[in-house]
Amino acid sequence: MSADTMQVLEQVETNAEAELQLPPPYEDEFLDALCGDWAGEYTLAGVKFDSTAEVKWVFNHQMVQGRNHSIGPIGISDSEETWQKTDVKGVYKLWWFDSWGNAGVADARTTETGFEILGHDPLMGSFRNTVTRNGNDELRFKLESGPDEAGNFNHLGGGFYRRQA
């Protein structure tokens, strides 16, 4: 390595130490309420699954990560999702992927009764997941595909998660 290259690398290293700072941790009541260990069940396209989820803050308290494990008669599915706060109050970005090859991105918006996720999965297409809070320790959800050309949604499944002690 040349002396000039070494000098540039030393300068970059010196500046990086002085300028690189982690952003302050986010404070967010909605994302805080998602964190914890959950267990539940759901039905998707007529197939019932038992499921668990571990949800926690990650990346210096910048995002919330959910790791889900589902078991049903057709096998095991593991999935992961990442939630990020946006600049718009009550709106979150959500990314996910699972062991069946599904992956996608969605917008989640808080509602008076819980939250709604609108997204697109390349394998499944567009969808809506409507989640209703039942107190602080239960989430009930309904998953639908669509909207179709007429603006209608088709029921795909639903279920619940309960916070574990």
Using alpha carbons only, how large is the chain's radius of gyration in Å?
Answer: 20
Residue 58 is assigned to a structural domain of this protein: yes
Please tell me the predicted confidence (pLDDT) of residue 139: 98
Residue 130 is assigned to a structural domain of this protein: yes
Polymer length in residues for the chain: 165
Residue 119 is assigned to a structural domain of this protein: yes
Q: What is the pLDDT of residues 104-156, one digit of tens each?
A: 999 999 999 999 999 998 888 899 999 999 999 999 999 999 999 999 999 99
Across 78-102, average pLDDT: 95
Please tell me the predicted confidence (pLDDT) of residue 9: 64
Residues 10 and 135: beta-carbon distance below 8 Å = no
Please tell me the predicted confidence (pLDDT) of residue 21: 80
Which two structure tokens, joined as six digits, stand for 50? 């038992």
Residue 14 is assigned to a structural domain of this protein: no
Residue 76 is assigned to a structural domain of this protein: yes
Contacts of 150 (CB under 8 A, 6+ apart): none
Residue 101 pLDDT > 90: no
Residue 126 is assigned to a structural domain of this protein: yes
User: What is the domain extent for residue 38?
Assistant: 27-163
**pTM (whole model) above 0.85:** no
Please tell me the predicted confidence (pLDDT) of residue 41: 98
Please tell me the predicted confidence (pLDDT) of residue 123: 80
Q: What is the pLDDT of residues 25-47, one digit of tens each?
A: 889 999 999 999 999 999 998 99
CATH of the domain at 93: 2.40.128.20
Residues 112 and 138: beta-carbon distance below 8 Å = no
Which two structure tokens, joined as six digits, stand for 99? 């062991």
| SS3 track for 5-59 | HHHHHHHHHHHHHHHCCCCCCCCCHHHHHHCEEEEEEEEECCEEEEEEEEEEEEC
Total domains present in the chain: 1
Residue 55 is assigned to a structural domain of this protein: yes
Residue 8 pLDDT > 80: no
Q: Which residues pair with 40 in a beta bridge?
A: 51, 161
Please tell me the predicted confidence (pLDDT) of residue 84: 96
Please tell me the predicted confidence (pLDDT) of residue 122: 84
Give the span between the Cα atoms of 73 and 24, in whole angstroms: 44
Please tell me the predicted confidence (pLDDT) of residue 63: 96
Residues 99 and 79: beta-carbon distance below 8 Å = yes
* Cα–Cα–Cα angle for 43, 44, 49, rounded to 5 degrees: 50
Residue 64 is assigned to a structural domain of this protein: yes
